[in-house]
Structure 1
Amino acid sequence: MLLTAALTAGCANNQAPAGEPLDLCRYAIVFADEFDDLSIAPRVLGNERWTAHTPWNGDFGDAVFTDPRAGGPFAVRDGKLLITASKDGEGKWRSGLIAAADASGKGAGVQYGYFEARMKLPPGPGTWPAFWLISLKPAEDKRPKVEIDVIEYYGHRTDRYHVTGHVWYSRPDQDKTYRSGSRVPVEPGSLTGAFHTYGVRVEPGTITYYLDRKPVWQQPTPPEHQTPLYPLVNLALGSGYPIDETPDPSVLEVDYVRVYRPIEGAAGECRD
């Protein structure tokens, strides 16, 4: 498969894609959270912008994703969302995830466009923060589901992060599931020491990943991509790596999440 071939080439070469530079003046914002307030529902979007679990009940990792509540994993401070992983009174790890959709298929997203988050990652082994996208459709819809991991970071390796595209098939076609990914090298410790922007541009032919709005990798858009995509952000722990030395608490700081759609023949919003 084309995406499988891209996986090998991308990991081996890590070549930044050539081509047209990112120009946000050609895009319009269709969804943005600047985190001036907290707008997270447990599982059903009402007037809130986010839910606190994956809409398909697929929570993961070694920390329990917890509903918004007093003393819970979510807080807003100085225009930033703080997602905190910490141990509760029984010594059990709890953390948070936000998804701009719910199980009904209600949510915010576009099929083609640019998605970006500005974040400062938590230091320490065992941390597993991510900004990612997934197909916007009802949970019971069995069509293949596209997932794009704009950044997936493993805290024990401070010199890299991962970008990956997945196509998930449901039963009885699970054997058709496939993925494509690459490692993006960075200065050791740079992603936990400062804020950076992590973006992806999804077009009919290509998916291009960006770090601080500079392209770092590219892959073909899978033919299964037929619906809008919506954003998720989480601070998970583990992913098969030990968490016995994970700092308690660990905090992921999110400055904003934005979703843009392309505008043909018009000027959009050149937003910093």
Structure 2
Amino acid sequence: MSKRPDRAYAASSASGSPISRRSGPSVARRWVLLPVLMLAVLLGASARSSEDAADTGEAGSEIDLDRYVMTFDEPFDSLDVSAWGPGTRWIAHTPWNGDFGDAKFADPKPGFPFTVDGGLLRIEARKSAGGRWSSGLLASVDRNGNGFAQQYGYFEMRARFPPGKGLWPAFWLIGLDRTTHTSEIDVVEHYGHAPERYTASVHVWNRRVPKESRSEHRRIPVAAGSLYDDFHTYGAGIDPDWIRIYFDRREVWRTPTPKEHRQPMYLLLDLGLGGGWPIDAAPSPSFMVVDYVRAWKPK
């Protein structure tokens, strides 16, 4: 997870060149040919548009999950978690033992930081009497890389976030191979001081030469407070060419897939604090509620 990546990048848009008009041999022939040429241009543009939509999906389009098969389904009817594994579906820390933010990610115990009720997972952030914060994180592989990871496909969480400045809920993906780089996709990071948006990011962390790390970020606008009022889906589609970010299954951003991201990636979700922002106004306790986490592969 990056620290304070909450900044906007201008969207790049494709621009087409104008259709050139050439003079015909006579005015009469121009009047006869003009409707035919216009029809040909329109039919050609329509065909190209249909082909492009079928190949890559148009910006803003809804993902078609009929083209996919589900490979991972966590409905949170129960929770199979341990501090470090092995043998559980989730562990309660990052596999590289890297806590971040201003809350310690706690080992799971009865009633904290995870509770499951009615098919919903509740992740709690709480401040102790001594002023120290604790919260929860889930990762789908253990320290040895055992667990769920997948190269390419569509990854999604359905959740409702807690309101409050300083809160930092997230759903993200990390590449299994961290030998020279850490490949990261932040499907959603929400900073509580900005109830009208969330941030999606793609990072390549260079572990040998940190200054050569690179990142892409995009602020996703939402109706102010809507992430707290109801559940929403946050998804990422990955293929060799593009990483596409989805909100309520509609594409809101895409960026080229870095070569470092062409590998199996595993799932993480957490209720963090801070991310470089003040936490003095963060409400204790706070609850992130998760309906499910799922993954699909193309058929």
Sort the TM-score into its range (normalised by shorter chain). 0.7 to 0.9
1:212 aligns with 248
What are the within-5 Å matches in structure 2 for residues 1-272 of structure 1?
11-13=9-11, 18=59, 21-46=62-87, 48-137=88-177, 141-171=178-208, 173-263=209-299
Higher relative contact order (CA 8 A, sep 6+): 1
1:130 to 1:14, Cα distance in 2 relative to 1, 3 A: farther
Letter in 1 for 2:194: R
Supply the distance in 2 between the matched residues of 1:21 and 1:118 (Cα, whole angstroms): 16
Greater Cα shift, 247-256 or 23-32: 23-32
Instruction: Give me the TM-score of the superposition, normalised by structure 2.
Output: 0.80
Matched residue count: 251
Q: Which amino acid aligns with 2:204?
A: V
1:107 & 1:66 partners in 2: Cα distance?
Answer: 20
Structure 2 letter corresponding to 1:145: T
Q: Which runs of 5+ in 1 are unaligned?
A: 1-6, 264-272
Q: Give secondary structure in 1 for the equivalent of 2:150.
A: coil
Quote the Cα distance in structure 1 between the aligned partners of 2:60 and 2:241.
13
Distance 1:13 1:148 in 2: 18
Structure 1-normalised TM-score? 0.87
Contact 1:200–1:207 (CA<8 Å) still a contact in 2? yes
Q: What SS does the corresponding residue of 1:83 show, helix, strand or coil?
A: strand
The structural deviation recorded for 1:20 is 6.5
68-77 or 146-155, which deviates more? 68-77
Gaps of 5+ in 2: 1-5, 14-56
Contact 1:42–1:67, Cα closer than 8 Å, also in 2: yes
Which amino acid in structure 1 is aligned with residue 59 of structure 2? A
CA distance in 2, matches of 1:34, 1:227: 25
Mapped contact 1:14–1:217 kept (Cα < 8 A): no
Deviations 1:95-150 (A, max 9, x none): 0000001111112121110000000000011100000000124xxx5132210000
Q: Pick the structure with more helix per residue.
A: 2
Larger Cα Rg: Structure 1 or Structure 2?
2
Once the two structures are superposed, what CA deviation does each residue of 1:66-100 show, in whole Å capped at 9, x if it has no partner?
01102321110110110000112433111000000
Matched residue SS, 1:119: strand
CA spacing shift, 1:69–1:245, aligned 2, 3 Å: same
Contact 1:206 1:221 in 2 (8 A): yes
Closer, same or farther: CA 19–71 of 1 in aligned 2, 3 Å:
closer
Cross-structure match for 2:26: none
SS of corresponding position for 2:228 = helix
CA distance in 1 between counterparts of 2:151 and 2:133 reads 35
CA distance in 2, matches of 1:205, 1:14: 17
The AA in structure 2 aligned to 1:60 is F
Change (3 A) 1:215 1:55: same
Match of 2:22 in 1: none
- Residue 38 of structure 2 aligns with which residue? none
Q: CA RMSD in A?
A: 2.0
